[in-house]
């Protein structure tokens, strides 16, 4: 049985996002949307409410990270809490997140902190959100304040999580707030998010030039059955560019690392998606671990360290997670052997959480949240499998 070893300084962790686990994020656009659902509106399937109560139970969650033998953790902090009114920052909430970060550090966890993970302060949403020309300025100001208040406790700043997904869901599909189907708004939001990252990068560096600042990008792998030139092959190249280059290239050198979120591969046949779907998650997403190796190799050209900041599957019965983890990590190891500067892996997710418009039914956690028993944390079998990998720094093939 082959053994796939990882570099000695490799980071092992899990990922979560504030709105999905903290609970009672009442000053955000998402909370407002959840509370004002109309009778004719399908989504969201349910409100986030108390979520996992991780705002209060973060120490318990970090203890789980420790039991996983992790040496890092990815979390997000909530803009709507920290700047509840435009230009007015909450020292109370900065003190809270300072305690959160100290708690992680005290458990030997390096901290990856995302500054924007899909949710916006309600005041920004009322001003047009990411279509507002001042949005990059607002975000850079917030980022600088975070660097001043919390920077000494943050090992890696991730400015924006999956900007392309946010733009698609909010302004193209119209599924997420502000629920707009408007290509002009989508373009404005896309441009403003690029500008916001660039400005936030400079703002954080102005506080301390040694701070590590990057972006978290969802990258989907596309491939076709055809090996020769065809329209499907041409389409694949276009889709690959739209999946990564259209956002990453304009960032230029204002990126100390790339956070990669990998969930999807799309096979194209006769200009249409044609996935075999022989192995799928509870959400019906095709599971294709080989795709992560191909995405990692494609990202080598940016010449910066890469961290897999999200990768996982909805699997309530925990029947696929161990096999999926093993195959994903084997392909990660192979990408490293081929020269990819992959420095860490964060599984999505530590605990079952609020999966946005889908509510609580998709179960991504290594740890089950029993919503009928005071949100009790119950590690699944895959929890112990990942703990073994993290401890040994290798995966057995």
Q: What is the pLDDT of residues 312-350, one digit of tens each?
A: 999 999 999 999 999 999 999 999 999 999 999 999 999
Arithmetic mean of pLDDT, 180-206: 98
Share the mean pLDDT of the chain.
Answer: 97
Specify the 3-state DSSP secondary structure of 39.
coil
Using alpha carbons, list the distances in angstroms from residue 284 to 275, 276, 313. Answer: 11, 12, 10
Residue 230 pLDDT greater than 90, yes or no = no
Contacts from 174-181 at CB under 8 Å and sequence distance 24+? 175/43, 175/357, 176/30, 176/33, 176/118, 176/356, 176/357, 177/29, 177/30, 177/32, 177/33, 177/125, 178/29, 178/125, 178/129, 179/33
| Domains detected in the chain | 13-396 (3.20.20.80)
Query: What pLDDT is attached to residue 86?
Result: 98
pLDDT band for position 88 (50/70/90)? Answer: very high
Distance of CA 108 to the CA centre of its chain: 22
Distance between CA atoms of residues 269 and 235, nearest Å: 10
Distance between CA atoms of residues 93 and 18, nearest Å: 13
Query: What pLDDT is attached to residue 226?
Result: 65
Query: What pLDDT is attached to residue 270?
Result: 85
Residue 93 pLDDT greater than 70, yes or no = yes
Query: What pLDDT is attached to residue 271?
Result: 85
Asked if 367 and 377 touch (Cβ cutoff 8 Å), the reply is yes
Q: What sign has the CA pseudo-torsion 264, 267, 271, 274? A: negative
Arithmetic mean of pLDDT, 101-118: 98
Residue 232 pLDDT greater than 70, yes or no = yes
Query: What pLDDT is attached to residue 35?
Result: 95
Give this prediction's pTM: 0.97
Q: 354 is written with which tokens?
A: 């609020």
pLDDT band for position 371 (50/70/90)? Answer: very high
pLDDT band for position 38 (50/70/90)? Answer: confident
Query: What pLDDT is attached to residue 195?
Result: 98
pLDDT band for position 367 (50/70/90)? Answer: very high
Residue 229 pLDDT greater than 70, yes or no = no
Query: What pLDDT is attached to residue 40?
Result: 85
Length of the chain: 397
């Amino acid at each position: 049985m082959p053994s796939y070893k990882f570099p000695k300084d490799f980071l092992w962790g899990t990922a979560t996002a504030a709105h999905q686990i903290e609970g009672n994020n009442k000053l955000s656009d998402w909370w407002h949307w959840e509370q004002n659902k109309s009778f004719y509106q399908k989504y969201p399937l349910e409100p986030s409410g108390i979520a996992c109560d991780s705002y209060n139970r973060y120490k318990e969650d970090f203890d789980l990270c420790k039991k996983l033998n992790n040496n890092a953790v990815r979390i997000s902090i909530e803009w709507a809490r920290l700047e509840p009114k435009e230009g007015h920052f909450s020292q109370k909430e900065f003190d809270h997140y300072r305690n959160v970060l100290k708690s992680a550090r005290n458990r030997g966890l390096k901290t990856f902190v995302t500054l924007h993970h899909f949710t916006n302060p309600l005041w920004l949403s009322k001003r047009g959100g990411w279509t507002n020309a001042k949005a990059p300025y607002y975000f850079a100001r917030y980022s600088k304040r975070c660097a001043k208040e919390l920077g000494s406790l943050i090992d890696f700043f991730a400015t924006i999580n999956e900007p392309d997904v946010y733009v698609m869901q909010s302004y193209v599909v119209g599924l997420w707030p502000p629920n707009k189907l408007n290509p002009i708004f989508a373009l404005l939001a896309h441009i403003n998010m690029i500008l916001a990252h660039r400005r936030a990068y400079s703002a954080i560096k102005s506080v301390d030039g040694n701070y590590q600042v990057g972006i978290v990008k969802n990258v989907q792998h596309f491939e076709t059955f055809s090996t020769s030139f065809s329209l499907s092959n041409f389409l694949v190249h276009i889709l690959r560019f739209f999946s990564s280059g259209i956002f990453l290239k304009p960032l230029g050198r204002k990126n100390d690392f790339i956070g990669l979120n990998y969930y999807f591969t799309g096979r194209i046949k006769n200009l249409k998606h044609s996935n075999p779907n022989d192995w799928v998650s509870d959400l019906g997403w095709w599971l294709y671990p080989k795709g992560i190796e191909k995405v990692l190799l494609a990202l080598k050209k940016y010449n910066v360290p890469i961290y897999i900041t999200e990768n996982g599957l909805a699997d309530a019965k925990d029947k696929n997670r161990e096999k999926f983890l093993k195959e994903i990590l084997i392909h990660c190891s192979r990408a490293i052997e081929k020269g990819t500067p992959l420095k860490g892996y964060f599984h999505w997710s530590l605990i079952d959480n609020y999966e946005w418009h889908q509510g609580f039914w998709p179960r991504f956690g290594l740890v089950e949240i029993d919503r009928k028993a005071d949100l009790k944390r119950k590690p699944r079998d895959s929890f112990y499998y990942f703990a073994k990998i993290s401890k040994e720094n290798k995966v057995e093939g």
